[in-house]
Amino acid sequence: MQAIRSRDTKPEQLIRRLVHARGLRYRVAARPLPDLRRTADLVFRPAKVAVFIDGCYWHGCPEHYKAPKVNPGYWSDKVTRNVARDRDTDERLKEAGWLVLRFWEHEPSGICADQIAATVIARRVDLGQK
């Protein structure tokens, strides 16, 4: 477990580079809400946008998740808890006025970066920011 990266994964780094190249600045692996012990992969505080790039295995991708062969009870339960935590995080952030964007690691990075940039820019306009 200690070898599994919780941040700075390859898909995350690629999307971050593309978003940065579009002129947007963000916080990495930050808590959108200080009292919520969960971090988003990219956080745009003024626009209140939290971005998560979810791994297919750890977050139960409907296309790519395969049940483990070794210790299936533990690992399947772990993934189920992760999915439930993701839904809870989404709800808590929405209640606090945040917009949550979630992408799978297998989605094209350029398309994800375009969607993130468009959403953040639109939110800034809606909130009267630069």
Residue 46 to residue 28: CA distance in whole angstroms: 14
Position 69 scores a pLDDT of: 85
According to CATH, the topology of domain 10-125 is Endonuclease; Chain A (3.40.960)
Locate 65 and state its tokens.
């998740």
pLDDT of residue 130: 64
How confident is the model at residue 21, as a pLDDT?
98
- Would you say the C-alpha torsion 114, 22, 48, 85 has a positive or negative sign? positive
**Which amino acid is residue 10, in one-letter code?**
K
Q: Check residue 12 and give its pLDDT.
A: 96
Q: What is the pLDDT along the chain (130 residues), one digit of tens a residue?
A: 555 667 889 999 999 999 999 999 999 999 999 999 999 999 999 999 999 999 998 899 999 888 888 888 898 999 999 999 999 999 999 999 999 999 999 999 999 999 999 999 999 998 887 6
| Amino acid 5: pLDDT | 62
Instruction: Break the chain down into helix, strand, coil percent, rounded to 5.
Output: 40, 15, 40
